[in-house]
Structure 1
């Protein structure tokens, strides 16, 4: 035994002497010498670096919300495989075509294919109640169909209710099934309760899923409904009447997109009602508006220019909604038909700046209240704020990105093996000159830049490789971003 140990020690001494006195010894020779074993240290992935950094930069604001009122769209979501349901409805694959309003199963198929081949989310109104009910029954009976809380307001309310210190008021058409599924922490005024539920059908598709010649570039969903209660924003007056007694610190409004399919006369009247209602909210209470998919440019223009947008403090939207907003108002890059992949950061920055300058309060002399926009797309998020009005936005945009990853994967914490970084590591602050070249540091994963008096915060999203559910991600993102946001007390709106 001692001879073997002595031989090993002598060999190690000789190898060490030869190696250190002949550093240029050819590798061919060294490979025959048993050099001491060096444990290999694997370099952490970018996904690991970012998820670790989030734990440090996501900090609670100094002043937190205590009471949040949310309204006014709520429903029950039935989530099914889009391709599977359409096949069950005896639909064959074909050519995609967008429809502003769906009038038939054929319209549904064409609109679904149109957005599936782009990997984009969309929402449409189905005009024929009888046909819709038949499709809804087929969806509910489809194998693997899942039932969830639905509607932007209800989904935002559910997310906010996950914070035990927060009181949440929800106004919307709440039927028995939805009421049963809501978090017990959510307060629903008796006037919001109704005898039947409103159902929305969510047709999901997976990344790479194929139907005929159509192949989805990424996972997403197509939503449609015949929802008259939400379509008329029937809970709006109840919502506003509840605010005096509830005394919220923050108001979140959603559901305007539901009115689009009801016809111009109706939405013109109800938009004016919405403006009056929002104007009645105490000036010290900020209002956040959550937008959703729309197709009527006149309607979007009314929201943007004449009606709602100037009197809210904050808005949340995705890439389709942002581009359509610019197209409706002939803003920057309005000639762009679609994003065609990950939206260019410079173009996104141009449109966000335009919204805040044309319809917000970037000019201190402006009477508009809009000072914050939370933009989210699959690969990254951007928070754009007028200087002096909001605090803790680094944490807010990172928190929104983190919840997009965890909720899509159905996890409480990030699993770096189940996510992938798709955000650009280098980009420009604008698509046109003058523009600044920027880079994203994974160890400090929020890039910050300024244009005029607007500050932009960009956070990458760790995209879930196999998402369990895409519905409601935008609502969770906006809710989380608001929870980590702080409005400056000397700038209450």
Structure 2
């Protein structure tokens, strides 16, 4: 909260968590929303009436009732009780003890064992054949932090085995979320999870933690101060795609990363695999401004521009200096077969809700992205 950083943690005491969740749920002003990265991304897709969404995850009665009619849940995914995630949201300037938040954000905690154990993975795989998807979105791997190391290893290898059964012309997007377990993050990078997915979605906390866990660039940095440096972010994105993405010598599927932070977004793609990146990154930035303010279109009176007006495209090698042009807000640059598309975000000054913004951004970006079949 002191840094205004989004975070999510596993709450290990089951009884205490359920007692808190029950009190919160029964308060007169309690609000229940669709939760979980996959469900939120699915809801965003389902808002387009011509899209059908298959959601496989532990779905209780309350969640089922809140889901869009275009979201289909296999009967095997339904369970008697809901998994609750508790969201603590705060506005810019709010205080808690000695802490004052520099900007609005949220802290999430849960005791969600069924998502952490990837309990519906097998149901998902058996449902895919009939559903014939154009895109697969995977999330919730961060929730494995509540599981034993042995179970983490077992489930990760089963996730990878399952992903290899998905037809190669169907892109798989992995949405990352807040983590503290370096071994688990390192396993995602090295144990074939990254090479098995075509696309990643993440924010500045996850990006830096990923670099720290896998000894990437700028990994000695302990945290970002203020708006993350564009050159540093660009270096880490480039390293992920070069070290773990698809190229002439590596049979990895990873060719796309959608990075989002409060002030700007970057879409990094390996050349030849994706099209329409300009529209995709712009759409992601637009939904960040409208959803946080709960408006249909960007309301100029309620947003501010916090992105750097000029920046370097790298901190590690010879870089271009880019000065933003308001008439062409999406900027593009290249680096050894990787294209970067950068856009500032019009940030909502008094957001009504910060939760689920990353999922809406990733969903919107995916909706506009055009995957080119692997040659």
TM-score range, shorter chain: over 0.9
Name the structure 1 match of 2:280: 396
Aligned to 1:187: 72
Which of 438, 463, 470 is residue 322 of structure 2 equivalent to? Answer: 438
Map 1:456-471; keep pairs closer than 5 Å: 456-471=340-355
Question: For 1:278 and 1:422, how far apart are their aligned partners in 2?
Answer: 39
Distance across 1 between alignment mates of 2:255 and 2:185: 19
Question: SS of 1:257's equivalent?
Answer: helix
Structure showing greater Rg: 1
Q: How does 1:285-296 map to 2 (within 5 A)?
A: 285-296=170-181
Structure 2 unpaired stretches of 5+: none
Q: Residue 28 of structure 1 corresponds to which residue in structure 2?
A: none
Indicate the residue corresponding to 2:235 in structure 1: 350
Query: What's 1:366 paired with?
Result: 250
The question of whether the paired residues in 2 share the 8 Å contact of 1:447 and 1:457 is answered with yes
Q: Distance in 1 between matches of 2:94 and 2:26?
A: 22
The aligned residue for residue 215 of structure 2 is 330
How far the C-alpha of 1:144 sits from its partner, in A, is 3.3
Q: 2:166 aligns with which of 267, 281, 299?
A: 281
Q: Is residue 488 of structure 1 aligned with residue 372 of structure 2?
A: yes
Q: Please tell me whether residue 472 in structure 1 is matched to residue 341 in structure 2.
A: no
2:101 to 206, 213, 216: 216
Name the SS for the 2:218 alignment partner.
Answer: coil
Gaps of 5+ in 1: 1-115
* SS state at 1:171 partner: coil
Does the CA-based 8 Å contact 2:113-2:146 persist in structure 1? no
Aligned match for 2:129, one of 240, 244, 247: 244
Shift of 1:432: 2.7
Q: Is the 8 Å Cα contact of residues 271 and 307 (structure 1) preserved in structure 2?
A: no
Instruction: Give distance in 2, aligned partners of 1:457 and 1:153.
Output: 25
Q: Which structure 2 residues correspond to residues 4-403 of structure 1 after superposition, within 5 A?
A: 116-142=1-27, 144-361=29-246, 363-403=247-287
- State the 1:425 CA deviation: 1.2
Cα deviation for residue 413 of structure 1 reads: 0.6
Q: 1:452 aligns with which of 313, 316, 336?
A: 336
* Number of positions where the alignment pairs a residue of Structure 1 with one of Structure 2: 375
Partners of 1:433 and 1:458 lie apart in 2 by 19
Q: Give the Cα separation in 1 of the matches to 2:146 and 2:343.
A: 34
Q: Deviations over 1:30-63 (max 9, x none)?
A: xxxxxxxxxxxxxxxxxxxxxxxxxxxxxxxxxx
Q: The residue matched to 1:332 in structure 2 has which SS?
A: coil
After superposition, give the CA deviation of every residue in 1:376-415 in whole Å (9 maximum; x if it has no partner). Answer: 0000000000001000000000000000000000011111
1:233-265 CA deviation, whole Å, 9 max, x = no partner? 101110111111101011111110111121211
Structure 1 residue 142 displacement after superposition: 4.1
RMSD: 1.0
> Partners of 1:144 and 1:380 in 2: how far apart?
33
1:447-491 CA distance string (max 9 Å, x none): 1011111000001110001000000000000000000000123x2
TM-score (norm 2): 0.98
Q: Deviations over 1:418-447 (max 9, x none)?
A: 000101110000013311101211111101
- Structure 1 window deviating more from structure 2 (165-174 vs 475-484): it is 165-174
SS of the residue aligned with 2:207? helix
CA distance in 2, matches of 1:482, 1:398: 11
Retained in 2: the 8 A contact 1:289–1:316?
Answer: yes
SS for the counterpart of 1:146 is coil
In structure 1, the residue corresponding to 2:138 is in which secondary structure?
A: strand
CA contact (8 A) 1:439 1:447 kept: no
* TM-score, length of structure 1 as denominator length: 0.75
